[in-house]
Amino acid sequence: MRLLTLLAAALLLNLCARPASSLSQATEPNPAFRMQQQRFPRVRAAYILHEADLHALLRRNGIPARQLELYLRAFKVGRRLEAWGRRTGTGEFVLLRTYRLAGTSGTLGPKRRAGDGQVPEGFYHVTRFNPDSKYHLSLGLDYPNAADLRHAAPDPGNDIFIHGSNVTIGCLPITDAGIRELYVLAVEARAAGQTDIAVHIFPFELTAENLARRVASPHTGFWQGLVAGYQYFEDYHQLPCVSIDARGAYAVE
């Protein structure tokens, strides 16, 4: 019953990034979030190590640190997590940093049940900041989303994070050094007013050639449902507006 309730609620979820014109209007800067996070020793240490360099990186890309909008994109093949940024609600996203995934588990394909070791694939958001993680620092994702709940086993699992270290059973580890830097970027974006930090996880670059090489995979149909969202960002360097229909399929509007 609880799962059915969650499913019904989740099916109402819309993964749309807010339109560029409304994002800056709909959110207000929240510098108190930065101050609250810096009460934790690991976050303070991360700021000491990385704040100056990251602010310089943002300036080089025309992004005021207090107006950062962040987007994260991960690929299993190639083992990388990309951090993209832009000035809040303005222009195209630019690639700021690429972090190597320091560990992997599972295989290509979506996560469907607790304990399967799979890293999810699909369209998610950062919903939790953990400044005292078992894996140094971590950013929690909203897995399972409505699409996952529609297709997953009765227990789809949870607690998927981007975190430090080099070990994983379904998360995205980018080493302690990597997560310190990314955590500062995420805190800066949140303090700038970004309540929805999109995280898109793909098996590989969803080109026609790459899909053709894996046409025999049982996940081909699922991957086809991710193509429109992947391609929209490739074409425009803007976030697609992604929704989930009653069948648990992604749709780009």
Polymer length of the chain: 253
Neighbouring-strand partners of residue 122: 201
Instruction: Give the Cα separation of 60 and 80 in Å (integer).
Output: 23
Q: What is the reported pTM?
A: 0.91
> Active site residue: 171, 219, 237, 241, which one?
171
Residue 55 known to be catalytic: no
Identity at 118, one-letter amino acid code: Q
CA angle 146, 148, 149 (to 5 degrees): 65
> Active site residue: 125, 163, 237, 241, which one?
163
pLDDT given at position 253 = 83
pLDDT given at position 26 = 44
Instruction: Give the Cα separation of 151 and 60 in Å (integer).
Output: 43
Helix, strand, or coil (residue 159): coil
Q: Estimate the crossing angle of helix 41-60 against helix 175-191, to 10 degrees.
A: 70
Tens-of-pLDDT digits for all 253 residues of the chain? 444 444 444 444 455 544 333 333 347 899 999 999 999 999 999 999 999 999 999 999 999 999 999 999 999 999 999 999 999 999 999 999 999 999 999 999 999 999 999 999 999 999 999 999 999 999 999 999 999 999 988 999 999 999 999 999 999 999 999 999 999 999 999 999 999 999 999 999 999 999 999 999 999 999 999 999 999 999 999 999 999 999 999 999 8
pLDDT given at position 5 = 40
pLDDT given at position 15 = 55
Residue 136 known to be catalytic: no
Instruction: Give the Cα separation of 96 and 61 in Å (integer).
Output: 8
